[in-house]
Amino acid sequence: MSNSRIKVKGHIRSFMRFSIYLGILLAAVTVAMFLIDVRAGILLSAFTVFYFAITLTLYFYNRPIIMNELVSFATEYGQIQRKLLRELDIPYVLMDEDGRVMWTNSAFENITHISKGYSKPISTLLQSITKDRLPVSADAPTANFEIEYEGRDYTANLRRISLKEMAEHSDMIEAEGYEGFLIACFLFDVTALHIALQEVDDQSLCVGMIYLDNYDEAMESIEEVRQSLLSALIDRKVNKYVAGVDGICRKMEKDKYLAILRKRSVAQLQESKFELLEDIKTVSIGNEMAVTISIGLGVDGLTYAQNFEFARNAIDLALGRGGDQAVIKTPDAVTYYGGKSQSVEKNTRVKARVKAHALREIVNAKENVLVMGHSRPDADSFGAAVGIYCMARALEKKAYIVLDNPTSDIQPLIDTFKSSPECDDAIISGETAISMADQNTVVIVVDVNKPSITECPDLLKYAKSIVVLDHHRAGNEVIENATLSYVEPFASSACEMISEILQYVKDNVRIRPEEADCLYSGIVVDTNNFVIKAGVRTFEAAAYLRRCGADVTRVRKMFRADAIEYMAKADTVSQAELYRGSFAMSVCRAERLPNPIVTGAQAANELLNIRGVKASFVFTDYQNKINVSARSIDEVNVQLIMERIGGGGHLNVAAAQLEDTTIEEAIDTVKNTIDELLESGEL
């Protein structure tokens, strides 16, 4: 840049022009002097001309010299700055607009092991600093993000520097015609900070709760003199396990423990897949039933109290999913481990009686009752809703069943239920239900605990009082702020649970035979004719409904399949393939089927009759979604597989819906999930 393009500014320019400004003032005084005295004015004019001659001569003579001195000073000043920048301990690199390295300091060269003069793109050294992350826009002139290089962590601070602004930054000179920009990058080593933060995080307190799932049943299966020994062996196993990871464990009740752990210890438990879940089952001194446990851990809470609350929520989730598993709850996520064994059926009905009395108190305090199942309701969902309708009627409350789009499969049940004139207005739409929701209304959700798949999810937002009655294992998404929640995964169906509640909510609850048929149908469908998850209480509930007038023949006639559905189911079974020798997979064609998802689920049940099949998966392309029906008998937990792909359900009965995919891709997804779970030992 030549001196002709350099212009002085600021205080330097004012200093250099001060004598000219003084000459202008002298000229003004000369003019005033002429007005006073002409001879004095002439004398002062001569002096003014002489002053201007000397001043201008010195100005134009000294200006180049002064400018050269300024340039020399700026150069020396820049060299000093450059030397200091090169010897700076913080790694620094200067890049062009495309991210190509133009200049580096010694610290940057040391950490990247390059020589001076390196001129390749920065991404060849630091792969994380890609071109799309460079601050090339004037609207966003800076960028900050963390990168990792050779085992160390750095915070990269990038700044866009305009060449024109850089040239004019000095108070002494300015330049014109400069365009373009450079990108400067500082790397701040934050490895030590991250290590310190990680150490603090590893030492943070975590709260754990350990419950024995079937303590009473296991104790009843051995002699009384051995019960104390069994309890002592279980205590020893639990305490030794927690102490092995440097934790503290104390027994709160006969079947409950409180554990205090460090977060680092929780990571160790996760790595071992909570081996206590399997180890506790080996405790045997003649007991016919193996003991199983549930573990709930609260991690990453802001306070100790919040971690304790997380632990309580986690243990509730573990028990709600059937027990024999560990659940870790953090502010952002819930993680599950275990859950391989069948949930143990409770022979006692104490819990059912307690829940029935609590439900009665809630309903008695309200004027209206709204009953809602899951979307695309099945026989169990509608039958349970009918059972709640009967309960409300017995308590002299008006009840309504929320039903928007009933499927053809439950239409016979709806017709049976509405055969009585008093039930004509019992079924309402979701929109009508929302308009009725107020302080004097209770919403009872049956056969589902996931809000997003209820018949009318918006109704939950308007409801002031919510009751949840379900037999599905709870997942990450649950209905919040429920006044009463009764979730029993060991129950065969929601209709079984409602049938028990009806026996305790009030003496001699009147149920019409047609209504009993609806409840009985739900049990028949969900147990696949008393084959799946049918326990003692299942048959007791069925016997109660038979006494109320349920007719097996009428129910069987209602669920006879059309010829098209029967042939589609047979075709699905015949086209099945075996994956890994024990996982049956097939596709149910949805053409001409009124409800292909139900047909696919029935085909999945049929595939379990093939010798050697541990689990079956039927894929149905319906309404732009791939519906997956998963079934197993006892060896494979299909719920784990379905949860991995966004679904859920029971250990033996589960399902999922996949969007934006094809049947072939869905099959590959399930196969890959099975491979992952088998390799990790979770299946």
Instruction: Give the confidence band of 128 by pLDDT, cuts at 50, 70, 90.
Output: confident
SS3 call for 665: helix
Mean pLDDT, residues 566-582 taken together: 90
Write out the two tokens for 197: 């933060």
pLDDT at 556: 85
Task: Give the model confidence (pLDDT) of 670-681 as tens digits.
Answer: 999 999 888 887
Q: Which residues of 438-466 are buried (b: 16+ CB within 10 A; e: fewer)?
A: eeebbbbbbbbbbbeebbbeebbeebebb
Domain co-membership, 329 together with 374 = no
Instruction: Give the confidence band of 73 by pLDDT, cuts at 50, 70, 90.
Output: low
Cα 675 to chain centroid, rounded: 23
Is the pLDDT confidence value at 172 over 60? no
SS in 3 state form for 445-458?
Answer: EECCCCHHHECCHH
> Which range of residues forms the domain containing residue 532?
350-558
Asked which of 429-438, 444-453, 602-611, 646-655 is least confident by mean pLDDT, the reply is: 646-655
More confident position, 37 or 493: 493
Task: Give the model confidence (pLDDT) of 339-374 as tens digits.
Answer: 665 555 555 677 788 888 989 999 999 988 999 998
In a domain, residue 276? The reply is yes
Domain co-membership, 376 together with 514 = yes
In a domain, residue 360? The reply is yes
Is the pLDDT confidence value at 178 over 80? no
Mean pLDDT of the chain: 84
Write out the two tokens for 570: 């047979």
Domain co-membership, 542 together with 419 = yes
Q: Which residues of 329-345 are buried (b: 16+ CB within 10 A; e: fewer)?
A: bbeeebebbbbbbbbbb
Instruction: List alpha helices for 87-182, DSSP H.
Output: 106-112, 163-167
pLDDT at 347: 56
pLDDT at 340: 61
Cα 511 to chain centroid, rounded: 43
CATH number of the CATH domain containing 585: 3.10.310.30
Domain co-membership, 330 together with 373 = no
Domain co-membership, 393 together with 496 = yes
Instruction: Give the confidence band of 273 by pLDDT, cuts at 50, 70, 90.
Output: confident
pLDDT at 3: 47
Domain co-membership, 484 together with 512 = yes
Write out the two tokens for 384: 């349970």
Domain co-membership, 12 together with 27 = yes
Instruction: Give the confidence band of 168 by pLDDT, cuts at 50, 70, 90.
Output: low
Instruction: Count the alpha carbons within 13 Å of 323 in the hemisphere toward its beta carbon.
Output: 18
In a domain, residue 344? The reply is no
Domain co-membership, 496 together with 617 = no
Q: What percent of the chain has pLDDT over 70?
A: 91
CB 385 within 8 A of CB 467: no
Asked which of 132-136, 303-307, 491-495 is least confident by mean pLDDT, the reply is: 132-136
Domain boundary among 314, 338, 362: 338
The kind and range of the H/E element at 38 are helix 38-86
pLDDT at 390: 92
Domain co-membership, 377 together with 314 = no
Write out the two tokens for 492: 């065969």
Task: Give the model confidence (pLDDT) of 446-489 as tens digits.
Answer: 998 888 889 998 999 888 899 999 988 776 678 878 888 888 87
Domain boundary among 518, 539, 558: 558
User: In the 8-state DSSP scheme, what is residue 121?
Assistant: B
CATH number of the CATH domain containing 454: 3.90.1640.10
User: In the 8-state DSSP scheme, what is residue 345?
Assistant: P
In a domain, residue 345? The reply is no
Instruction: Give the confidence band of 629 by pLDDT, cuts at 50, 70, 90.
Output: very high
Mean pLDDT, residues 158-180 taken together: 60
pLDDT at 627: 92
Task: Give the model confidence (pLDDT) of 581-593 as tens digits.
Answer: 899 999 998 777 8
pLDDT at 166: 58
In a domain, residue 101? The reply is yes
Task: Give the model confidence (pLDDT) of 521-553 as tens digits.
Answer: 999 988 888 887 788 888 999 999 999 988 888
Instruction: Give the confidence band of 175 by pLDDT, cuts at 50, 70, 90.
Output: very low
**Residue 273 burial (CB count, 10 A):** 15
Is the pLDDT confidence value at 416 over 50? yes
* Contact residues for 433 (Cβ-Cβ < 8 A; gap 6+): 370, 372, 400, 402, 443, 456, 459
Domain co-membership, 378 together with 320 = no
- CA-wise closest residue to 382 among 434, 354, 418: 418
CB 555 within 8 A of CB 520: yes
Q: How many domains does the chain have?
A: 5
Mean pLDDT, residues 416-425 taken together: 81
In a domain, residue 400? The reply is yes
Is the pLDDT confidence value at 260 over 90? yes
CB 568 within 8 A of CB 589: yes
Domain co-membership, 473 together with 364 = yes
CA distance 358 to 484: 8
In a domain, residue 453? The reply is yes
| Distance (Å) of CA 559 to CA 46, 386, 432, 583, 612 | 125, 18, 30, 28, 29
In a domain, residue 599? The reply is yes
Domain co-membership, 69 together with 113 = no
Domain boundary among 536, 558, 580: 558
| Distance (Å) of CA 390 to CA 121, 413, 508, 520 | 75, 15, 12, 14
Mean pLDDT, residues 405-415 taken together: 83
Mean pLDDT, residues 268-278 taken together: 89
SS in 3 state form for 277-326?
Answer: HHHHHHCCCCCCCCCCEEEEEECCCCCHHHHHHHHHHHHHHHHHCCCCEE
